[in-house]
Chain A
Amino acid sequence: MNNRHNILLFITVSLFVALAGGSSAGADQTTVDEIVSKANRAAFYQGADGRAQVKMTITDNQARERIREFVILRLNVEEGGAQKYYVFFEKPDDVANMVYMVWKYTDKDDDRWLYLPALDLVRRVASGDKRASFVGSHFLYEDVSGRGIGEDVHELIEETDEYYKLKNTPKDPDSVEFAYYELWIDKKTYMPTRAEYHDEQGSLYRVVEALEIQEIQGLPTVIRSKASDLTGGGSTVTEFSNVEYNIGLTDDIFTERYLRRPPVRWIRR
Chain B
Amino acid sequence: MDSEIDSMKQRICGAVFLCAFFLSLSARAWAFQLSDDFPEIHGFLEGAGGLKFKDGTTKHDDYNLLEARLQLRGRYYPRDFLNRWTPEINVKGDFLLDGYFGGATDVSLRELNALITPAHFMDIKLGRQVFTWGTGDYLFVNDVFPKDYVSFLIGRDDEYLKAPSDGVRISLYNKMANLEVIAIPFFEPNVIPTGERLSFFDSFQQGIAGRESERVLIEPPRQPSNTEYALRAYRTFGSYEAALYGFYGFYKMPRGYKNEALRQLYYPGLSVYGASVRGPVAGGIGSLEAGYYDSREDRKGDDRLIENPSFKALCGYERDLGNDLRVGVQYQYEQILNYTEYQAALLAGDFFWDEYRHLITARLTKLLLRQTLHLSLFSFYSPSDHEVYLRPSATYDIKDNVELSIGANLIWGDEDKTEFGQFEENTNVYMRVRISF
Q: Which residues of B contact A125 (CB under 8 A)?
A: 285
B429 CB to closest chain A CB (Å) equals: 23
Contact with A along B351-370 (1 / 0, CB 8 A): 00000000000000001001
The reply to whether the CB of B295 lies closer than 8 angstroms to some CB of chain A is no
A58 touches B370 (CB 8 A): yes
Contact with B along A108-139 (1 / 0, CB 8 A): 11010000001111101111110111011100
Given contacts A94-B436, A111-B239, are A133 and B371 in contact (CB under 8 A)?
Answer: yes
Given contacts A133-B370, A133-B371, A265-B86, are A120 and B322 in contact (CB under 8 A)?
Answer: no
Partner of A129, one of B88, B178, B234, B322: B322
Partner of B173, one of A60, A67, A133, A257: A257
Q: Which of B9-17, B97-105, B313-321, B332-340 makes up part of the contact surface? A: B313-321
B400 touches A92 (CB 8 A): yes
The reply to whether the CB of B278 lies closer than 8 angstroms to some CB of chain A is yes
Nearest to A96 among chain B residues (CB) is B42
Q: Which of B123-131, B205-213, B298-306 makes up part of the contact surface? A: B123-131
CA distance in complex: A246, B399 (Å): 37
CA distance in complex: A256, B400 (Å): 28
The reply to whether the CB of B283 lies closer than 8 angstroms to some CB of chain A is yes
A119 touches B162 (CB 8 A): yes
Partner of B322, one of A92, A119, A124, A132: A132
A33 CB to closest chain B CB (Å) equals: 29
Nearest to B437 among chain A residues (CB) is A93
How many A residues have CB within 8 A of the partner chain?
A: 41
Counting residue pairs across A and B whose Cβ atoms lie within 8 Å, the total is 112
A93 touches B42 (CB 8 A): yes
B324 touches A132 (CB 8 A): yes
CA distance in complex: A234, B323 (Å): 18
The reply to whether the CB of B24 lies closer than 8 angstroms to some CB of chain A is no
Interface size class, chain B:
35 or more
A119 touches B436 (CB 8 A): no
A94 touches B401 (CB 8 A): yes
B372 touches A136 (CB 8 A): yes
B31 touches A93 (CB 8 A): yes
The reply to whether the CB of B30 lies closer than 8 angstroms to some CB of chain A is yes
A154 CB to closest chain B CB (Å) equals: 25
Partner of B323, one of A66, A96, A109, A129: A129
CA distance in complex: A135, B44 (Å): 21
Contact with A along B147-174 (1 / 0, CB 8 A): 0000000000011011000000001010
The reply to whether the CB of A78 lies closer than 8 angstroms to some CB of chain B is no
Q: Which residues of A contact B326 (CB under 8 A)?
A: 126, 128
Nearest to B162 among chain A residues (CB) is A119
Nearest to B30 among chain A residues (CB) is A93
The reply to whether the CB of A91 lies closer than 8 angstroms to some CB of chain B is yes
The reply to whether the CB of B115 lies closer than 8 angstroms to some CB of chain A is yes
B35 CB to closest chain A CB (Å) equals: 14
A257 touches B123 (CB 8 A): yes
Interface of chain A residues 13 through 37 with chain B (CB within 8 A): none
Q: Which residues of A contact B321 (CB under 8 A)?
A: 128-129
B271 CB to closest chain A CB (Å) equals: 22
Q: Which residues of B contact A91 (CB under 8 A)?
A: 400
CA distance in complex: A95, B129 (Å): 19
A265 CB to closest chain B CB (Å) equals: 7
Nearest to A175 among chain B residues (CB) is B322
The reply to whether the CB of A63 lies closer than 8 angstroms to some CB of chain B is no
The reply to whether the CB of B118 lies closer than 8 angstroms to some CB of chain A is no
Q: Which residues of A contact B214 (CB under 8 A)?
A: none
Nearest to A92 among chain B residues (CB) is B400
Interface of chain A residues 119 through 172 with chain B (CB within 8 A): 119-122, 124-129, 131-133, 135-137
Among the interface residues A97, A129, A255, which one has the most CB atoms of the partner chain B within 10 A?
A129
Partner of A109, one of B30, B77, B283, B371: B283
The reply to whether the CB of B241 lies closer than 8 angstroms to some CB of chain A is yes
A119 touches B173 (CB 8 A): no
Contact with A along B192-231 (1 / 0, CB 8 A): 0000000000000000000000000000000000000000
CA distance in complex: A20, B296 (Å): 66
B371 touches A136 (CB 8 A): yes
A261 touches B324 (CB 8 A): no
Q: Which residues of A contact B178 (CB under 8 A)?
A: 256-257
CA distance in complex: A55, B51 (Å): 40
B86 touches A133 (CB 8 A): no
B365 CB to closest chain A CB (Å) equals: 11
The reply to whether the CB of B75 lies closer than 8 angstroms to some CB of chain A is yes
Contact with B along A80-119 (1 / 0, CB 8 A): 0000000000011110110000010000110100000011
Q: Which residues of A contact B370 (CB under 8 A)?
A: 58, 60, 66, 133, 136-137, 234
B319 touches A126 (CB 8 A): yes
A264 touches B88 (CB 8 A): yes
Among the interface residues B75, B86, B371, B399, which one has the most CB atoms of the partner chain A within 10 A?
B371
A257 touches B400 (CB 8 A): no
A120 touches B162 (CB 8 A): yes
Given contacts A93-B436, A111-B280, A120-B129, are A264 and B42 in contact (CB under 8 A)?
Answer: no
B363 CB to closest chain A CB (Å) equals: 12
Interface of chain A residues 220 through 265 with chain B (CB within 8 A): 234, 252, 255-257, 261, 264-265
B78 CB to closest chain A CB (Å) equals: 11
The reply to whether the CB of B284 lies closer than 8 angstroms to some CB of chain A is yes
A119 touches B159 (CB 8 A): yes
Given contacts A93-B30, A94-B434, are A119 and B132 in contact (CB under 8 A)?
Answer: yes
Among the interface residues B285, B367, B399, which one has the most CB atoms of the partner chain A within 10 A?
B285
11 of the cross-chain contacts (CB-CB < 8 Å) are A91-B400, A94-B403, A103-B239, A109-B280, A124-B285, A124-B287, A126-B285, A128-B320, A129-B320, A129-B324, A264-B77
Q: A109-B283, A128-B322 are in contact. List 15 more A-B contacts (CB 8 A).
A: A66-B400, A93-B44, A93-B401, A120-B132, A124-B279, A126-B284, A126-B320, A127-B320, A128-B319, A128-B326, A129-B321, A129-B322, A132-B324, A136-B367, A265-B86
Binding site for A on B (CB under 8 A): 30-31, 42, 44, 75, 77, 86, 88, 115, 117, 123, 129-133, 158-159, 161-162, 171, 173, 178, 234, 239, 241, 278-280, 283-285, 287, 318-324, 326, 367, 370-372, 397, 399-401, 403, 434, 436-437
